[in-house]
Amino acid sequence: MKFAPIALVALLLTAATPALAAPKAPKAPDYPAADWRVVDPENVMVIDTNRGQILVELAPWAAPGHVERVRGLVRRGFYDGLTFFRVIDDFMAQTGDPRNDGTGGDDSQPDMKAEFFFRRGRETPFTSMGRLAPDLKIPSLTEVGFVGGHAVRGGPSLQMMAAADGKVQGWPLFCAGTLGMARAQDPDTANSQFFLMRQTYPLLDANYTLFGRVLVGLEAVRAIKVGEPPAPPADAMTRVRMLADLPAGERKTIQVLDTASPSFKAILAAAIAAGKGPADACAIDVPVKIG
């Protein structure tokens, strides 16, 4: 049928083992309380796997339609027990297919329109890291920075003055730990399948819809058994829930360092002073803490 990261990028059994204990975020420096933002539990997927728990923050500012679809599927229990049926070591781990082979989706809902790009206005908190040479696809989008914990690329802020809506176009970068929706050759064919990036992969940028990023549990993503398909038994998502739906005793408070904060700007300044530039945006760590 469809739903696999396509040849463009040269790819692109329910596990009985109980999920491992919830991971702990790396200890973050003691940044000022005002520089942290509390993550909305409505935007956190809690993915229990036989390799460990993965906490994912969804990005409705980047792909609202895809976030709404995935959130609804989670609440239906659609993803529970589905395997990682296509896993490429230095690339990604793909899942979300009820057939567990890359050919299925949610037959009760139509495929979705691509959401490769977003519009950024002055109201959107943005921290610039600098500019890159023009991209061949859209030469005017040269500025690299951070929105909502994601590295992004887009038009320089000065272009807002010339835009009818006062905004510039941009796209989030497929850094290690980000989530993308699988699709067929047609850009508008994403349905239920998604993939978690094991490594940064720029060839996906502006070619696939990115709708979130792993906050905690990237080591679990990288531990998923490799194969196309993997040898049985394949690793699986034993249970997937929204953080907001967990019982109060299980619901943790997740905080992410605000990428528009003075503390994060200091992190960027130190990285730039050490020789890193906008091409290294995916290597910049955005601290997370769980309370």
pLDDT given at position 24: 52
Three-state DSSP at 2 gives: coil
Q: What is the pLDDT of residues 74-113, one digit of tens each?
A: 999 999 999 999 999 999 999 999 999 999 999 999 999 9
Ordered DSSP codes for 196-246 = EESS--GGGTTTS-EEEEEEE-HHHHHHSPPBSSPSSSPPBEEEEEEGGGS
Three-state DSSP class for residue 248: coil
The confidence score (pLDDT) of residue 138 equals: 67
Residue 267: φ, ψ to 5°: -60, -45
- Strand pairing class (237-242; 52-58): unpaired
Taking the CB of residue 95, how many other CB atoms lie within 10 A of it?
28
Please give the class, per CATH, of domain 7-14+38-114+174-280.
mainly beta
Assess whether pLDDT exceeds 50 at residue 41.
yes
Q: Concatenated DSSP letters for 173-194?
A: ---TTEEEE---SSTT-B-S-E
- Amino acid identity of residue 208, one-letter, is Y
Q: What is the pLDDT of residue 134?
A: 78
Which phi and psi angles does 41 have, rounded to 5°?
A: -60, -20
Q: What is the pLDDT of residue 5?
A: 47
- pLDDT at position 139 over 90: no
d(CA 138, CA 155): 9
Asked if residues 268 and 129 have their Cβ atoms less than 8 Å apart, the reply is yes
**pLDDT tens digits for 54-78?**
999 999 999 999 999 999 999 999 9
| pLDDT of the residue at 291 | 85
pLDDT surpassing 70 at residue 136: no
Q: What is the pLDDT of residues 1-20, one digit of tens each?
A: 344 444 344 344 223 333 34
pLDDT digits (tens, 9 = 90+) for 162-218: 999 999 999 999 999 999 999 999 999 999 999 999 999 999 999 999 999 999 999
E-state strands within the chain? 36-38, 44-49, 52-58, 86-87, 92-95, 118-120, 127-131, 143-147, 150-154, 168-172, 178-181, 194-197, 210-216, 237-242, 254-257, 288-290
What is the rounded distance in angstroms from the CA atom of residue 223 to the CA atom of residue 218? 9
Q: Are strands 86-87 and 288-290 parallel, antiparallel or unpaired?
A: unpaired
Q: pLDDT tens across 257-290, in order?
A: 999 999 999 999 999 999 999 999 999 999 999 9
